[in-house]
Amino acid sequence: MPKDSAKTAKLYRMVMPGHLCPFGLKSKDLLEREGYEVEDHPLETREETDAFMERHGVETTPQTWIGDERIGGYDELRVHFGLDKPEAERSGTSYRPVIAIFAVAFLMALGLSWFSFDSVLTLRGFEWFIAISMCFLAVQKLQDVESFSTMFLNYDLLARRWVRYGYVYPYAEAFAGILMVAGALTWLSAPVALFVGTVGAASVFKAVYIDKRELKCACVGGDSNVPLGFVSLTENLMMMAMGIWMPLKIYVLGW
């Protein structure tokens, strides 16, 4: 696009020796990707930034103007271009963390299966998918066990009777998942997975499908925006399935 006919935008962002505003960089990048020629105005000192905010009656930077219209910061810029909904219209819930965990776990399982058996679709690959998913979900909880245990108390039946179970659960899930990835100590990992999975499935089913409660799921940690429901139920059913299948395969079928 010729310069004289280009869409233009004015961007004011902090570019200080000790602080380069990441949202300013994101705003500049977004504007350029949307075909705008950016008239960049770096705010290079704290005094300059404070004077700018006072002059325009704003509390944050960056700030973007398109024509005579002040769009606002990076979030408002995304709304302006239709990339996000306005904050008032957002549901506050998201399945993105769970989708990311299951998708990466699935691809890792396919990779391990291909490396080990020269085939992506194998029974062991499916076992790896569940075991790796358990490990990833446990890591999410282990980042802040205190926060997880608090949210967990909203619905878990055993944790409500024995509060410390909320602290044990993430370690038990990680322990069982790691052993199942390795295919080791099945006599120990399978009962652990079956126990926590059964208690968890019963708790989620009661809270969601019997009591009809609308809660946030602690499955990806205590700051989760994932609704309690089929995601957490699936996590627990997967652990139950592995807890039954692994000893059945080894001790009964002899595989």
Q: Is 36 helix (H, G, I), strand (E, B) or coil?
A: strand
Residue keyed to tokens 């391990």: 112
In angstroms, the CA 122 to CA 244 distance is 19
The string of pLDDT tens digits covering residues 45-76 is: 999 999 999 999 999 999 999 999 999 999 99
Tell me how far CA of residue 31 lies from CA of 58, 73, 153, in angstroms: 20, 12, 45
Please name the amino acid found at residue 101: I
pTM to 2 decimals? 0.80
In angstroms, the CA 196 to CA 238 distance is 11
Mean pLDDT of the 100-122 span? 95
The string of pLDDT tens digits covering residues 173-191 is: 999 999 999 999 999 999 9
Please name the amino acid found at residue 21: C
For 133-172, what is the HEC assignment?
HHHHHHHHHHCCHHHHHHHHCCCCHHHHHCCCHHHHHHHH
